[in-house]
Amino acid sequence: MKGFDNQFKDLPDYILKITYQIWENNDVEAINEYYADTPEVTLPTPTRSPSGVIYGADPVIKSTRESKKLFPDRTLLGEDVIWTGNDEEGFFSSHRILSTSTHNQDGMYGKPTGKKLYYRTIADCACMNNQVYDEWLVRDQGAIVRQIGIDPKHYANDLIMKEGGPEKSTKPFDENTPIKSIYKSPVLPSGNIGENYSNILSSIMNVNPEKTINDNYDRSIQQYQPGGQIHYGKDEAIKFWNALRSSFPNALFTVEHIAFTEEKAQPKKAAVRWSLVGKHEGAGIFGNPSNAKIYVMGINHVEFGPRGIKNEWVLYDETMIWKQILLKTG
């Protein structure tokens, strides 16, 4: 790869190795090397998550140190890297990580419980010249707090209080959050599997979820849902998407980014980042309607089999959705 160290044979190798170096080799300062300015990348790397946006290496280092202090035994298992790109346009990766850790430190999740935790993160990164220069990250905070024994709504409320109450609390990411970036999505070939999956998602959210899922999902679909939940079969997939849509019945669903991987002897894979923007106008998984303005940042991974979608991973942060609702309702 042009501009990358010779130790990296391809983009997945780069992403997996730098993640291991930073987290499990405890080389946190390496973030300065991999999240830095270059002549081609003139802006500090933006890292966006449901909680907001930060710029440059320093806040990423601070966040990493805080996480390692909270979960010193955390292991990051790279489940997959779905990627696109080339030497001329740069590269894009969508990295799905299964983390394991033990809640044995006092901190943002309360007094230690000793519970073993399993949770996923998906990080979308644009890369060139051996550096990450743009990132979107969604972590399943709902899975973390649920396993500890905290309801996501209660966690969000406690977080608001710790930040000084509704007037002083940090506002989550929304459609008005400034986004500075030089990243431009590469032109993808028409009819690719990522485009196919984005059309399926749009049809689920905007047209007919039951028909769309019955037509495009394998009967034995395994769906990994926010909150660390795993469900099986088309009926459960229909129930999940209907529950999300019913909470925000008039919200605008938008596909924000598409990536895909098609390799020999491997299932076809796609990564789609999406948003849901509107008001909390329906009863459902987020309680009674509050009329709060909501921004849902979601990232999905999917694998196709011979009979349709075989595995689907859906990530959004329940706690940040609840935070937006509670900042409205008090």
What are the extents of the domains in the chain? 11-155, 193-329
Angle, CA of 153, 155 and 157, to the nearest 5°: 70
Extract the residue ranges of the chain whose pLDDT is less than 50: none
Angle, CA of 23, 26 and 28, to the nearest 5°: 80
CATH fold for domain 193-329: Nuclear Transport Factor 2; Chain: A, (3.10.450)
pLDDT at 181: 80
pLDDT at 189: 87
Question: What burial class does residue 146 get, using C-beta atoms within 10 Å of its C-beta: 0-12 exposed, 13-18 middle, 19+ buried?
Answer: buried
pLDDT at 184: 84
Angle between helices 152-162 and 141-148 (to 10 degrees): 100
Structure tokens at 288: 């009674």
pLDDT at 42: 61
pLDDT at 187: 81
Amino acid at 181: S
pLDDT at 313: 98
Structure tokens at 264: 């020999």
CATH fold for domain 11-155: Nuclear Transport Factor 2; Chain: A, (3.10.450)
| CA-derived radius of gyration, the chain | 19
Going by their DSSP bridges, the two strands 308-315 and 217-225 should be labelled as parallel
Structure tokens at 185: 């999505």
Q: Cα(112)–Cα(105) distance, rounded to whole angstroms? A: 5
Residue carrying structure tokens 């991999």: 34
List the beta strands (DSSP E) in 129-242: 131-139, 217-225, 229-232
Q: Report the candidate in 275, 287, 226, 224 with the shortest Cα–Cα distance to residue 251.
A: 275
Domains 11-155 and 193-329 share a fold: yes
34 contacts 131 by C-beta, under 8 angstroms: yes
pLDDT at 37: 60
Q: How many CB atoms lie within 10 A of CB 40?
A: 12
Angle between helices 11-23 and 57-70 (to 10 degrees): 60
pLDDT at 40: 55
| Residue 261 to residues 4, 14, 121, 268, Cα–Cα distance (Å) | 21, 16, 19, 6
Q: Cα(205)–Cα(237) distance, rounded to whole angstroms? A: 12
